[in-house]
Chain A
Amino acid sequence: MTRILPEREVVVVGFGWTGAIVAEQLTDAGMDVLALERGYWTDTSTDYAVNNAQDEVRYRYRDELFEDLSRETLTFRNEVGQTALPMRMLGSFLPGTNVGGSITHWNGQAWRFLPSDFQARTHNTDRYGTGIFEEGMTVQDWGVTYDELEPHYDTFDKICGISGKAGNLGGEIQEGGNPFEGPRSSEYPNPPMRMVAAPLKFADAAQELGYNPFPGPSANMSQAYTNPLGVQLAPCSYCGFCEKYACGNYSKATALTTIVPALMRRENFTLKTGAMVLRVEKDRQNTRATGVTYIDTEGQEYFQPAQMVVLCTYITHNVNLLMQSGIGEIYDPRTGEGNVGRNYAYQAMSGASVFYDDFAVNPYVGAGALGQVIDDFNGDNFDHEGLGFIGGGYIAQWQTNGRPIESHPVPEGTPRFGAGWKRAVRDNYNHTIGVGAHGAVMSHRNNHFDLDPTYRDAYGRPLMRLTFDFRQNEVAMSAYLTDRVAEIARAMGGREVRVNPMTVPYDIAPYQTTHNTGGHIMGETPADSVTNKYNQSWDLPNLFLMGAGNFPQNPGYNPTGTVAALAYHSMKAVRDQYLANPGPLVQA
């Protein structure tokens, strides 16, 4: 028996970072907001305090902050035509769960995309002609521009207290920052992180080669900070447990450390935990969402009516909720029909390790976003004429950690195990610097989500099916970037260099990055997108979708900054226009 609850003005599904942003913005506008979170309450000082957070076995390898696949997962194959099999264990990406969401365990690399990234189709066509696009590429413009998002990037920088150095202030190029970035309306709220030795070595080599190194933008605090909501962050203590871990001393900007303390004090906000939303309900005429159906931890099912529904779950779940709810048409790669599930993209990761004899890296003196970066080979910051690909990525030396189960680099030719491996680990643990390329993945006709015909989740629903591989564009782009990585690595004065190219075909087992994108992409028309530029569903105007699922393709940066800027951009339109006049914010 489904119990029917009293109607709420706004229901937010999933209480991670975008859920917190949406709830903060709409409660501030006086709306009554209910957030539904499948996981449970977590708090810095209790759940991952300085005295228990640093436990590799528990957090990284027993998934304590990650989602429970026994409830729901997806199936995976590289190509249409293969049989997809379930992702039984987490591997390539690590979505989070519980109050605070995935961002609780991020590194804190807080980027903006380039202005040209938002016009990937028209920009590249204008500069290189349509021939630059590989056959099957489904790259498209976002429908939103950098200039429109800039104020919201700025808001997010200030909410987080991002540490960094501007490279472009209102069009003026600044010494020491990223000269390629879009114009910023203000300097970073905090100065850059104090660098350890390894990133400085990288920066010297990059400079020597004529590139433009700058300190990576960091959500780890370079100093104590109070954000515009009055929420406070403490100085980062360089403990080296950011990504895959939660911060125990309030020094990494996350939903819990920037917004939730202020939001929870508001009387027009309610959070329910243990509430797993199974589908979005809609009216018979298919014109509006009427609410959501969720199940609690005791198995009781509820219908929660709402005037407005905002999906803020991890992208795979946002897309899955659309599919399970019959909202929009599921994409079919054979016909190209349907938009739900289309344009899944990821990240093209590769790198190199530089081994030294004497130089001590002391890798555990680290932080998630402590590093030096060059952006010379990202987006369209370099001439792609004749290269056979579009897009690019940043190249960086981040000194994130010395956690030994995960990080024990060994040179080429080291045995897989045994005495030789053990000696190599011992000799190189403190003497290896990693340099990485963080590359874009352009969208492709065959990379997509749909529903699996065989496997089901714990709620009896079909699992979502992911079909993905790196295509010709990414293989060429990543090879080019990896060559640049190797060039810098060899200039860093080590004994030897080991190059680690991107693994092709894509393998879902080894960890790469939790930057999954697309599936409910935004765009200029309902013909080729699921939402308009304000993250509003074309089908049901009182349904909004946050997150990287809106990305039509995935540029060469970490997605969080843009995910947040899109959320603020959407909420501004809701506050300024939608609340007074609920309906489509863009006419189809």
Chain B
Amino acid sequence: MRHAALPFLLAALAAPAAAQDSNTWSTMERGLYLFRLGDCAACHTIDEDRPMAGGLGLPTPFGTIYTPNLTPDEHSGIGDWTADDFHTAMTEGVRPGGERLYPAFPYTHFTHVTREDTEAIYAYLQSLEPVMNRVPDPEIPWPLSMRTAMRGWNLLFFDDEAGLEPAEGKPDEWHRGQYLAEGLAHCSACHSPRNLLGAEKDGPASYTGGVIEGWFAPSLRSTEGGEGIGDWSEDDLAKYLRYGRNGHTAAFGPMAEVVEKSTRWLSNADAAAIATYIKDLPYDAPDRVEMEEVSADDPVMQHGERIYATQCAACHGIDGEGVKNQFGRLAGSSLTQAENPLTVVRMVLEGARAVPSDKYPTPHAMPAFDWRLSDEDVAAVTTYVRNAFGNAAPAVSAETVAEIRE
């Protein structure tokens, strides 16, 4: 019972931070803001001319499912849903009629969203142009196509009664951050590892990084360097969410799109709130060992240094210092030194673009080096950047590069 009461408590807690907004915004404007914060369009819009008409195929571990049409079309969309129906779908993962949704829809997060907020999103969605678009049925092999199977999954991994624990002594801003990050923003959907059934690991394993679309979404837990974004300040994180860049790096890969479509719309207060919450995530990994750097005398390091000097230094600097808000700093970078080298190798192979934003419109991009560098070259240069400039991280093998190159 204590849990069930929490959403209301949270709404009350959230109120001060949102006050400036709710005073001046209509329900519709709030709905649009929250809709963007939930990054709903990322999955439900595939054609900019027909927003939210759904139909995107998602290759999940369960098979391909198609995102539904959320326009107010009465036949193919949610034109006949009530605000109650929408709230139930958001927070319990159940459609009107009792059919269960696949957990590719992050209801495990949206369960935390308050009734007031789902209503605002509902109001915004109902204001869209109705689009007739019947999306295909899921292509999921028996027995999973029976959505009742989801019930079992939900039993294991989902508790719609679960709420967010208020923390003693944490300020309002922290609670607002928790509400946003755990709920609509669903940060851990990418930044947590998943179990074999595709469910996020929780507890101390949550937010320790995950693999998504072939990129490594780094740990968000605040360790002492080495992993994740431990070397970022709260302000660095807030800037990154708002503008796609900070003094350390820029958003690229899947996160570029999150910034482009979602977090750049955050109010300064909400960006700061999320940063406060995320930067306060505790870290507890007794088995973590101090990395020992690969020696500079290692022939691989020497080969890597030669490649670095001719291919990388023009932008990232001979000492890995980068150019602030333009080219990523490699020296001391936790992203560069992440235990999983997937992101570093992938960036070298196929390039990556910093998300342009209104504040930083320049679309700085790293070029693709796959045509130019061999697997051995890429292994050497990534090993080098992970172990030069005072960095230390496991060496990258040519085999690993070859696998990622596939």
Contact = CB atoms under 8 A, between A and B. Distances in A.
B147 interface: no
Contacts, number: 64
A230 to B, nearest CB: 5
B227 to A, nearest CB: 28
A27 to B, nearest CB: 13
B360 interface: yes
Interface in A259-296: 261-262, 265
A51 B367 contact: yes
Contact of B311 (A50, A226, A229, A230): A50
Contact of B362 (A50, A237, A239, A250): A250
B359 A230 contact: yes
Interface in A176-235: 224, 226, 229-232, 234-235
A45 interface: yes
Given A230-B358, A265-B356, A265-B361, A51 B369 contact: yes
B405 interface: no
Contacts of A230: 358-362
Given A224-B323, A224-B326, 19 more contacts: A45-B367, A46-B365, A46-B367, A49-B367, A50-B311, A50-B314, A50-B315, A51-B369, A52-B372, A230-B360, A231-B362, A234-B315, A234-B323, A234-B326, A235-B323, A249-B314, A250-B326, A265-B356, A265-B361
A44 interface: yes
A550 to B, nearest CB: 30
B361 A231 contact: yes
Q: Assign chain B's interface to a size class.
A: 20 to 34
A230 B353 CA distance: 17
Contacts of A234: 315, 323, 326-327
Interface of B: 311, 313-315, 323-327, 351, 353, 356, 358-367, 369, 372
Interface in A38-91: 43-46, 49-52
Q: Assign chain A's interface to a size class.
A: 20 to 34
B326 A261 contact: no
Interface of A: 43-46, 49-52, 224, 226, 229-232, 234-235, 237, 239, 248-250, 257, 261-262, 265
Contacts of A262: 361
Contacts of A229: 361
A239 B314 contact: yes
A249 to B, nearest CB: 5
A230 B358 CA distance: 8
Contacts of A226: 325
Contacts of B323: 224, 234-235
Contacts of B366: 45
B360 A51 contact: no
A49 B372 CA distance: 12
14 contacts: A45-B351, A45-B353, A50-B315, A50-B367, A51-B311, A51-B367, A224-B326, A232-B360, A234-B327, A237-B313, A250-B326, A257-B362, A261-B361, A265-B358
Contacts of A44: 365
B359 to A, nearest CB: 6
B363 A261 contact: yes
A260 to B, nearest CB: 9
B360 to A, nearest CB: 7
Contacts of B327: 234
A46 B352 CA distance: 11
A232 B326 contact: yes
Given A50-B314, A51-B372, A232 B325 contact: yes
